[in-house]
Amino acid sequence: MNQITFNSDTLYSALLQRDSSFEGIAVVCVKTTGIFCRFTCTARKPKPENVEFMSTPHEALLNGYRPCKVCNPMNYHGSAPEWIKPLLAEVNENPAIPLHNQDLRTRGLDPARVSRWFKKNHSMTFQAYLRSLRIGLALGRLKTGESVTETAFESGYDSLSGFTDSVKRTTRRSPGESRQEQIIYTTRILTPIGPMLAGATQEGICLLEFVDRRMLETQIKRVTHRLQATVLPGESIFFDTLKHQLDEYFAAQRRDFEVPLVLAGTPFQQKVWTLLQSIPFGETRSYKQQAAALGDPAAIRAVARANGDNRISILIPCHRVIGATGELVGYGGGLWRKQFLLKLESTTLLDFEI
């Protein structure tokens, strides 16, 4: 299998440009200071002769480097900064709590800074995030049989009319009609190769994509259309299991995932995605081999398109499909991530076999 390689000039250029797309590929080790950094570190850039690049923070530590206090490369890329963690904990503990700009200032937070962070990490303002959490909480209560009035006031709304208007804006249905509404709850999951957006229905995981994927918004629309659902930030009984198993996978302690999946696609796509799950851990297949396994050797392009439309990354291992000559092609999360996952699995397989 061909490997993607980056020479030192390319990596140093990425460092000078603070290119975040190189997060997860390597860390920057500074010989003169004995520290290692992210590519996005804001500290003064060292001269090229004083830099070496290593694949992981663990490798840097083993070579005697210590983590930079400015960019904290030991944390997953995309993790919440310390200044906002108390607010996130408060909101997650009680999504119904009303928090306006003055409330944020009372907590020592700049409302504009909070809003920028939420726009960058959740694609919505803080107030929009609160409204979405509140609606998600309310719809969950309605589905368990609570009355509309009880749900409205328990979810933090000041009036029944305000609650009704919010539900209609979100679901295009009245609160009573929304009892039957399919909801996809979403959360962010941090991984060593970047944050991911996970989505779940009552039946299982229906979405797992890297948040910087260019097609993410389109993929979300396709899932919601296929399932006739509304997407809201919130909690699912499947998220803790998913997070735990992904942590084990990246720590080379897990080969198979045991969380129910919802394949929101056409019958042909579902056949392709089911076949993907049969590719053994640590192995690869070509698109041609996948088409033949489906019983239609001429359907190579159709298989490739369905493979690219997979919306549950890693768990449905589309990264295990490569070109006929062994080259790495066609991965929505970026070819460097495909390389990382295949290398991780080949190394993990050897560990399991020892």
Decide if 199 contacts 209 (C-beta within 8 A): no
Chain segment 29-53, per-residue pLDDT in tens: 999 988 999 998 998 899 999 999 9
Give yes or no for residue 1 having a pLDDT over 50: no
Examine the pLDDT at 257 and tell me if it is beyond 90.
yes
267 pLDDT higher than 50: yes
pLDDT band per the 50, 70, 90 thresholds, residue 156: confident
Tens of pLDDT, residues 194-252: 889 999 999 999 999 998 888 888 999 999 999 988 888 888 999 999 999 999 998 88
- CATH top-level class for 8-67? alpha beta
**Single-letter amino acid code for the residue at 230:** T
From the number of C-beta atoms within 10 Å of its C-beta (0-12, 13-18, 19+), residue 225 rates as exposed
Pick among 3.30.360.10, 3.30.930.10, 1.10.10.10, 3.40.50.200: CATH of 264-353: 1.10.10.10
Question: Quick check: 122 pLDDT over 80?
Answer: no
**Spatial distance between the Cα atoms of 7 and 184, rounded to a whole number of angstroms:** 42
Question: Model confidence at 3, in pLDDT bands (50, 70, 90)?
Answer: very low
- Which band of pLDDT confidence, cut at 50, 70 and 90, is reported for residue 69? confident
Decide whether 8-67 matches 264-353 in CATH topology: no
Query: Are the beta carbons of 210 and 196 closer than 8 angstroms?
Result: yes
The model's pTM: 0.71
- pLDDT of 62 strictly over 70: no
CATH number of 82-240: 1.10.10.60
Candidates 37, 71, 206, 318; catalytic one? 318
Q: What pLDDT sits at residue 23?
A: 73
Active site residue 37: no
Angle between helices 126-143 and 111-122 (to 10 degrees): 60
Give the whole-angstrom CA distance, residue 168 versus residue 95: 19
Q: Is the pLDDT of residue 353 over 70?
A: no
The pLDDT score that the predictor gives to residue 152 is: 77
The vertex-173 CA angle with 172 and 176, nearest 5°, equals 160
pLDDT-derived band of residue 22, with 50, 70 and 90 as boundaries?
Answer: confident
**Sequence spans of domains, the chain:** 8-67, 82-240, 264-353
pLDDT bucket at 130, cuts 50 / 70 / 90: confident
Q: Is 267 helix (H, G, I), strand (E, B) or coil?
A: helix
- The CA angle 207-211-213, to the nearest 5 degrees, is 95
Count the neighbouring beta carbons within 10 Å of the beta carbon of residue 180: 9
Q: What was the pLDDT predicted at 119?
A: 83
